[in-house]
Structure 1
Amino acid sequence: MSDAPELILTGGPVLTMDPTAPDAEALAVRDGTVTAVGAARDVLALRGPATDVVDLQGQALLPGFVEAHGHPTIMGLAIAPPALDVRPFTVPTGREVYDKIRAAVVVHPGRPVGAYGIDLLLQRDLAPPTRALLDSISAYAPLVVVSNSGHAAYANTPALRAAGITAATPDPPGARFVRDENGEPTGEAHESAAVIALMNTVADDRLDARHIRSALRWSFAQHARVGITTLTEMAAEPRLLPDLRAAAEQPDADVRVRAYVMGTPELAADPGRRFTGHAPAREMFGVSGMKLWADGTPWQGSIATSFPFRATDAATRIGLDPCGHGGMNYSTAELALLAAAFTAQGFPVATHVHGDVTCEAVLHAYEKAADGDPERLRSLRPRLEHCGAVTADQYHRAAQLGATVSLFMDHVRWWGDVLADDLFGPDVAARWTAARSAVEAGHRISLHNDGICSPTDPLSSVATAITRRCHPSGRTHGPDQRLTVEEALRAVTSGPAWQLHLENDIGMLRPGMRADLAVLTTDPRTVHPDRFKEDVAVTATYLGGRPTWP
């Protein structure tokens, strides 16, 4: 049969994520597309002499996972070997962090050194990386240490000199260089544009096209091994878009990529800039929108909240005044102008937001962007990213505007106790990334890992969503905000596919859709929530019917 499937998978439960036919026994693939889903007998009847029949041996088949908010470029450049990965997930103590940095300086005398991933709240013995401390480690070559959140960086004197940052240097829009009482830069920088200015001083030869594409290839492979088939680059620098496209369009690329471009005032003011439309899933690369940062991160005290940060030693470590509230990166008016400009250009906008006060400004910006045409805004599906302290009422208002939300669920897994004990109190921890409130407001939510800010693993996000457990204590924060396992699985498959305007191509398993597949050790619906993280794992990944892992 010339139209026989090339591949059939059977012998285990098929979880289609299609509400009209959620369960099946087998699936057939031809030319990268699902051609049949249903009973094993019916699907196997379609096989031809060349059909490859895969016996799942009881394992479960799901749509490939969609990472709604990733940072593959930073992942490749910052932690791909031999880069210096000092995140708390890999280097748990402050002593080990500085041992690793000092060793790199000794091995590469006179060369710039960059380290990614310190966390002053999880690495409790970590001495703050002041300019003086970093100068004592590397006096003659640039040394830059970036926080795990990516929202702060710390530089020595040679790095500041290489970046050209002096007392007279203006702060970039939406970012700042921290200064002492005399106006001199301390070496600390907050938010993307300022952080990137410091990071570039230690990039050395890592920003040439060959290295970038090699780093991206490594990064793509890390996503494929955890079942991800479509990946969002949620902070694409315009100058790196050609390299990102080239890496995604390699014939053997492991993931499909959709990019949100960093939304600068310059791009907003470009009168000729227009969104060209969403690329279909058969295209391996496409631009999906523009990215804005309304605030920063709770771990640096840079979010605007109606409730104060607590007066604790931990809050002092991250530089907060007693009972401080943090702030925003833009004024309400500036944010509204940017959102309106990009919306007028036709771009969907995704805005980073954590604080509830910040969320008020974002909702106001989206209301202004609607400009009397709410259906047009709704058609763009503007997004709110992370949503740490967003309230139930704000979720409802966002839904009424046609906005959609993507939740950084593993904030609760890794920092739930920090939120409860050190920064805000148990009540705030209990409603942080309030997934149940978002679902009840009518949102098709997505869950994400935010690049390298937490270990990339959609199943970890699912586990946290259904348990609200913090690691390693095992404490539960906000049990009333738990999702069912089915809701959580939709939030890493069909939900993010819809947010990317790809719902007719990916995120579910039904005839005509791309054959993006993840094979799991067992049916995740049958596992006790407390055992989910231990008992459910990805054993194989397919992109358009082509194996990408293992």
Structure 2
Amino acid sequence: MPDTTAQLILTGGPVLTMDPAAPHAEALAVRDGTITAVGAASDVRELRGPRTEVVDLRGQALLPGFVEAHGHPTIMGLAIAPPALDVRPFTVPTGRAVLEKVRAAVAGAPGEAVAAYGIDLLLQRDLPFPTRELLDSLSPHAPLVLITNSGHAAYANTAAVRAAGLTATTPDPAGARFVRDAHGEPTGEAHESAAVIALMNTVAGDRLDGANVARSLRWSFEQHARVGITTVTEMAAEPRLLPALRAAAEDPEAAVRVRAYMMGTPEAAADPAHRFAGHAPARAGFGISGVKLWADGTPWQGSIATSFPLKDSAAARRLGLTGCTHGTMNYGPGQLAELAAAFTAQGFPLACHVHGDITAEAVLSAYEKAAGPDRLRALRPRLEHCGALTPDQFRRAARLGATVSLFMDHVRWWGDVLADDLYGPQAAARWMAARSAVDAGHRISLHNDGVCSPTDPLSGVATALTRRSHPGGRVHGAEERLTLDEALRAVTVNPAWQLHLEHETGMLRPGMRADLTVLNRDPHTVPAEALHDEVHVTATYLGGRPTWP
């Protein structure tokens, strides 16, 4: 007879399974990376053998491993893993400190290219606009590039512009652009992925060396495991970095499972050999889940298409948005529809970055033209971020068979910016309208978008419960709050479903992978306003293997 004794038993605390058939349990058993029993402690203890490891939770709560629905582990490793220059507002809150760090980095590496990731002109209020002239004064001879926290814009000095080979005749990449002066010359400012990458390449240096990429990815994976994540989505997989990402994720000691969406280029859409190979099973450390498109940009650059105007505020003027009332899309509706149809015909599930409500109309129409509801429901095409989507648009998306993932911590970090500087209180109140999405019938996920906010699923959960901004604590859109159980499902079972992994991960049920997160206490015992400060991850397991601490 096969040996059915457990290799690992966790008991002594509440088990929150996310399984609607049996939402609560007392203990859980694991063998060969798979959950073999969930239930009463007395029943699970019967599976104990002489070599079983028994973990006493001591009142802590056991949940499914968190699933980061929209992450960027590769960028996270390359952009902020030590010794990279991390100047995001969460780590460097003032513009003065940003410039000090950049000056020190340039002085410490004379003649070498320098990149700084994470500037935010809306949160680092005293940071001067990073003109080419300012960056030339910081680094007169070697390339210097400052990338925004959103990743949707970058600013380069003259040396970097020259290293990138940018001239008045350089064409804009598809879905991106280089900002130009009155004579058509590049100013050093770039918007959207392909243009930003062109500038980043000038300062990448040996960061893209195989050993450095592998080391950066290990660090990135460990940062995800520290906050309870067992599956992370790479939402902008670059072909040239794909082998390194695959190798890192397939390492038997990798701290997370990775599912990647490839960058959707017109070249890939036109390639008849470009076909979806199918979803990898959860036991595989790496798999391709689909293709990613960027329909618009970011509210922090005014590059999203909305039906409501930008405010004429000092902050908007500082960003150069004077006279820019509504923002734009990266692709025309026709281009977007053609790309969506091509990738859908190739069999790829689509994930489309969309913030503006006007952009959302174009994305939904593109999905509708690409396939009928039955085909779309099978593919589960996604809308990513969904900042300004309306209740009607969430309902339309649900009818079409599309699904949505919300960047909930936009409200936490930029709620006051949305209300006071960019769009006004009404827009802030409906930003990331999670309640509207759930009421429309969506299995929503919540995400942190890689480096764009601190990677922490519990932060998104807390924001979904309170909709409080940081640091002032203002509430934006109380009517769009979720319940705790809805928010927890949005970082476990729902994103697992979006990745076609729902039969193997996302809940605690016999036969599923033993992806586990241990919290210091049951979040149901903590007031919503205190959850962010009082609840934290104490242990993480991937397939029954401890990955943190």
Same fold (TM over 0.5): yes
Counterpart of 2:465 in structure 1 is 466
Aligned partner of 2:185 in structure 1 is 184
Say whether residues 1:68 and 2:79 are aligned partners. no
Describe the SS at the equivalent of 1:276. coil
Superposition TM-score, scaled by structure 2 size = 0.99
Q: Distance in 2 between matches of 1:361 and 1:530?
A: 37
Per the alignment, residue 232 of structure 1 pairs with: 233
Matched, 1:423 2:450: no
Q: Residue in 1 aligned with 2:545? A: 546
Distance in 1 (alpha carbons) for counterparts of 2:59 and 2:519: 9
Alignment-derived partner of residue 353 in structure 2? 352
Q: What letter corresponds to residue 534 of structure 1 in structure 2?
A: D
CA–CA distance in structure 2, aligned partners of residues 165 and 525 of structure 1:
55
Alpha-carbon distance, 1:319 to partner: 1.3
Distance in 2, Cα, partners of 1:323 & 1:497: 39
SS of equivalent residue, structure 1 residue 211: helix
Residue by residue over 1:213-252, the C-alpha shift from the partner in whole angstroms, topping out at 9 and shown as x without a partner, is: 1100000000000000000000000111111000001110
Deviations 1:106-151 (A, max 9, x none): 0000000000000000000000110011011111110000000000
Q: Which residue of 1 aligns with 2:395?
A: 396
CA distance in 2, matches of 1:196, 1:437: 35
Residue 321 of structure 1 and its aligned partner are, at CA, apart by 1.9
Counterpart residue type for residue 435 of structure 2: R
Looking at structure 1, the residues matched to 375 and 411 of structure 2 have their Cα atoms a distance apart, in angstroms, of: 35
| 1:189-268 paired onto structure 2 within 5 Å | 189-268=190-269
The residue type equivalent to 1:167 in the other structure is A
Structure 2, unmatched stretches of 5+, are none
Distance in 1, matches of 2:343 and 2:295, equals: 15
- Please say if residues 436 and 483 of structure 1, whose CA atoms lie closer than 8 Å, have aligned partners that are also in contact: yes
Q: How many residues were matched structurally?
A: 548
> 1:436, 1:2 → 2: CA distance?
47
Quick check: 2:373–2:399 contact (8 Å CA) kept in 1?
Answer: no
Q: Secondary structure at the residue paired with 1:240? A: helix
Q: Look up the match of 1:484.
A: 483
Per the TM alignment, residue 374 of structure 1 is displaced from its structure 2 partner at its CA by: 2.5
**1:466 & 1:264 partners in 2: Cα distance?**
37
TM-score, structure 1 as length reference = 0.99
Answer whether contact 2:255 2:542 (CA < 8 A) is retained.
yes
Cα distance in 1, alignment partners of residues 83 and 267 from structure 2:
35
Task: Measure, in 1, the Cα distance between the counterparts of 2:82 and 2:286.
Answer: 25
Query: Matched residues in 1 for 2:110 and 2:163: separation?
Result: 17
Any idea what SS the aligned residue of 1:204 has?
A: helix
- Paired AA for residue 96 in structure 1: A
Give the 3-state SS of the residue equivalent to 1:203 in structure 2: helix
Cα distance in 2 for residues equivalent to 1:271 and 1:251: 34
Q: Percent identity?
A: 77
The aligned residue for residue 454 of structure 2 is 455
Secondary structure of the structure 1 residue equivalent to 2:418:
helix
Distance (whole Å) between structure 1 residues aligned to residue 202 and residue 410 of structure 2? 30
Given residue 190 of structure 1, which amino acid in structure 2 is its aligned partner?
Answer: H
Q: Which residue in 2 is equivalent to 1:125? A: 126
CA deviation profile, 1:186-214 (whole Å, cap 9, x unmatched): 00000000000000100011111111111
Q: Using the TM superposition, give the Cα deviation of residue 3 of structure 1 relative to its aligned residue in structure 2, in angstroms.
A: 2.0
Aligned to 2:175: 174
Do the aligned residues in 2 keep the contact of 1:310 with 1:323 (CA within 8 Å)?
no
- 1:484 alignment partner AA: T
Residue 155 of structure 1: how far off its partner (Å): 0.3
CA distance in 1, matches of 2:403, 2:365: 15
Deviation (angstroms), 1:323: 5.9
Cα distance between partner residues in 1 of 2:5 and 2:294: 49
Q: Hey, what does 2:117 align to over in structure 1?
A: 116
Is the 1:301–1:319 Cα contact (8 Å) retained in structure 2? no
Task: Name 1:521's counterpart in structure 2.
Answer: 520
Residue 16 (structure 2) aligns with: 15
* Structure 1 unaligned blocks of 5 or more: none
Question: Is residue 7 of structure 2 the alignment partner of residue 2 of structure 1?
Answer: no
Indicate if the aligned counterparts of 1:311 and 1:323 stay in contact, CA closer than 8 A. no
Structure 2 distance, partners of 1:2, 1:115, is 54
Which amino acid letter does the alignment assign opposite residue 348 of structure 1? P
What corresponds to 2:330 in structure 1? Answer: 329
Query: Which runs of at least 4 in structure 1 moved beyond 4 Å after TM superposition?
Result: none
**Residues 310 and 322 in structure 1, CA contact (< 8 A), matched pair in contact too:** no
SS of the residue aligned with 2:353?
A: strand
- Provide the rounded CA distance (Å) in 2 between the counterparts of 1:182 and 1:222: 45
* Residue 84 (structure 1) aligned with residue 85 (structure 2): yes
Deviations 1:289-321 (A, max 9, x none): 000000000000000000000000011111112
Q: Distance in 1 between matches of 2:264 and 2:151?
A: 17
- Name the CA distance, whole Å, in 2 between partners of 1:505 and 1:317: 49
* SS state at 2:287 partner: strand
CA distance in 1, matches of 2:356, 2:201: 29
Question: Does residue 309 of the first structure (1) align with residue 313 of the second (2)?
Answer: no
- SS at 1:17 equivalent: coil
**Cα displacement string for residues 448-473 of structure 1 (whole angstroms, at most 9, x for unaligned residues):** 00000000000000000000000000
SS at match of 1:539: strand
CA-CA distance at 1:503 after TM superposition: 0.1
Per the alignment, in what secondary structure is the counterpart of residue 3 of structure 2? Answer: coil
What amino acid is the match of 2:439?
A: E
Partner Cα separation in structure 1 for residue 399 and residue 525 of structure 2: 35
C-alpha separation in 1, matches of 2:121 and 2:228 = 31
